[in-house]
Amino acid sequence: ILGSIEPTSGSTQGNTKISVLGSGFTLGAPIVCYFGVEDYIVASLVDETAVTCRAPTHAVGEVDFYITTNGVRAVDASGYAVVLKYTYSTAPTVASMSPSTGSMDGGVTVTVTGEAFGESSGNAVCVFGPALVTATIVSSTELTCVSPASSSEGLVSFSVQINGEEASSESTHFRYMNAVHVINVSPRYGSVHGGDVVVLSGLSFAGTDDVHCIFGGVVSTVARVVDSTMMTCQTPASAEVGSVSVG
């Protein structure tokens, strides 16, 4: 008996892993998944209620999906032959990710934009080097995931998989940082009375908690992290005129 398939759509490039749910599947009986009339592939048995198969390549559009066991079409609970629908769509692509840097402790929410990410119920993962984490599909053009921890600093490859298929992209990387790095401060002067808003640019600001700026050893109010490369804070009052270090 054929009940349903998940997912119900995939890329024209094929290789999407399809879970076929039903009952009465048995070892030794050849089970074949059909995508339309001419395209088919042998399924793999999971248990008596499920099999899996990989979608072949196909042009954009909807096709009939059904399975056969020993050449006999699967039926529904009423004994009627079942035909489901499977939709081929444009292959997923990644256009950008933000932020592209984060702490070695992980926990940074990364937003990925692109095309053809599919429905929110789809299976998406982000791959940070060797580590896979589950992603949340926000829309067909956006998904989010949280960076895992890393044991070392440096660049790791980054990619996205939608329903088992890797989304195409330009060379994309994520940089793990062991500590926050401040590169520039603007403006570089202000009143001794304090209260001036200062913008700090640098690396690895995102994913940090309880952030403060330090002016010459004096801790300012809580800083506002804009993204992984920018934060703002207010200068504290100073008893003397002159230059101080900022960190």
Percent composition of the chain: helix, strand, coil (DSSP 3-state, to 5): 0, 55, 45
Q: What integer pLDDT is reported at residue 247 of this predicted model?
A: 62
Give CA torsion, residues 50, 130, 14, 31, to 10 deg. Answer: -20
**pLDDT over 70 (residue 207):** no
Q: Are 126 and 160 in contact (CB under 8 A)?
A: yes
| Mean pLDDT within 124-139 | 95
Q: Which residues contact 111 (CB under 8 A, 6 or more apart)?
A: 97, 98, 142, 143, 144
Q: What span, in angstroms and rounded, lies between the C-alpha atoms of 73 and 67?
A: 6
Mapped onto helix, strand or coil, the DSSP state of residue 74 is coil
Query: Pick the residue with more confidence: 170 or 36?
Result: 36
**pLDDT over 80 (residue 89):** yes
Q: What span, in angstroms and rounded, lies between the C-alpha atoms of 94 and 126?
A: 11
**pLDDT over 70 (residue 210):** no
**pLDDT over 80 (residue 221):** no
Integer CA distances (angstroms), 31 to 138, 184, 240, in order = 35, 63, 82
Its pTM stands at 0.59
